[in-house]
């Protein structure tokens, strides 16, 4: 009887769901957490497409990123589409765990525009290369209307140039982080909602609230 029920359950699942279930199990094992814990975290993104979820789980497997400590997340764009993206903590982890990574240096222009450097340069050194990889990003080309660029423009430029240099130097492939103003406005609105929720929850972040929920459910 149990075998018949199991057979019925398997047959009722779509091919996409079967693949996602398999990827979920493998991804949870990669970062050393329970499968149901990762599923519980993903439940907050019920609006995400199966393609986005698959990409999200693939990034966990490929780079051993842990969403529970904000190394990876999912955003919903203004046009209704969604994407998995690596946070700066995630980028830092990927860079530092690369076996050929031998260090990094940053440099910025002495010329300023409204007290902001016109450009910032990132250099990444590899153990197996003679010459380092150097990337320059210009503030006017990469800044957007996102609130983070208004409050922390220098930090955002630094993050941007590090990410782009890491892509070239270490062969990191992932969806481009937020690129359009419309997308960033949507993320900004979502973050503001999360901030209000955090105040209600006594200042807890989204991940901290999830962890509290998991602890209380035990």
Most confident stretch, 49-58, 132-141, 203-212: 132-141
Give residue 4's pLDDT.
Answer: 52
Q: For the chain, what percent of residues have pLDDT higher than 70? A: 73
**Beta sheet of 133-138, edge-to-edge order:** 101-108, 119-126, 133-138
In whole numbers, what is the pLDDT of the chain averaged over residues? 79
Give residue 169's pLDDT.
Answer: 96
Stronger pLDDT, 101 or 2, i.e. the higher one: 101
Residue 97, both tokens: 């765990």
Q: What is the pLDDT of residues 106-140, one digit of tens each?
A: 999 999 999 999 999 999 999 999 999 999 999 99
Torsion sign over Cα 76, 204, 154, 87: negative
How many angstroms separate the CA atoms of 116 and 93, rounded?
28
Mean pLDDT of 65-75: 92
Report whether 170 contacts 101 (CB < 8 A): yes
pLDDT band at 204 (very low <50, low <70, confident <90, very high): very low
Q: Which residues pair with 59 in a beta bridge?
A: none
Give residue 20's pLDDT.
Answer: 82
What is the reported pTM?
Answer: 0.73
Stronger pLDDT, 16 or 121, i.e. the higher one: 121
Q: What is the pLDDT of residues 171-200, one digit of tens each?
A: 988 766 554 444 444 444 444 444 333 333
pLDDT band at 168 (very low <50, low <70, confident <90, very high): very high
Q: Which of 150, 138, 161, 137 is nearest to 188 (CA)?
A: 150
């Amino acid at each position: 009887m149990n075998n018949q029920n199991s057979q019925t359950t398997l047959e009722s699942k779509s091919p996409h769901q079967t693949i996602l279930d398999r990827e979920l199990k493998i991804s949870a094992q990669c970062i050393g957490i329970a499968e149901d814990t990762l599923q519980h975290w993903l439940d907050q993104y019920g609006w995400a497409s199966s393609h986005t979820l698959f990409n999200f789980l693939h990034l966990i497997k490929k780079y051993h990123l842990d969403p529970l400590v904000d190394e990876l997340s999912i955003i919903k764009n203004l046009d209704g589409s969604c994407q998995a993206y690596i946070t700066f903590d995630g980028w830092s982890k990927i860079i530092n765990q690369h076996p050929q990574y031998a260090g990094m240096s940053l440099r910025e222009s002495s010329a300023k525009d409204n007290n902001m450097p016109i450009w910032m340069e990132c250099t990444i050194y590899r153990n197996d290369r003679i010459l380092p990889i150097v990337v320059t990003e210009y503030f006017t080309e990469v800044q957007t209307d996102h609130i983070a660029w208004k409050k922390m423009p220098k930090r955002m430029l630094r993050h941007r140039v590090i990410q782009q240099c890491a892509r070239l130097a270490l062969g990191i492939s992932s969806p481009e982080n937020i690129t359009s103003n419309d997308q960033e406005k949507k993320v900004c609105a979502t973050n503001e909602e999360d901030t209000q929720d955090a105040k209600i929850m006594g200042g807890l972040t989204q991940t901290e609230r999830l962890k509290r929920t998991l602890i209380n459910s035990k």
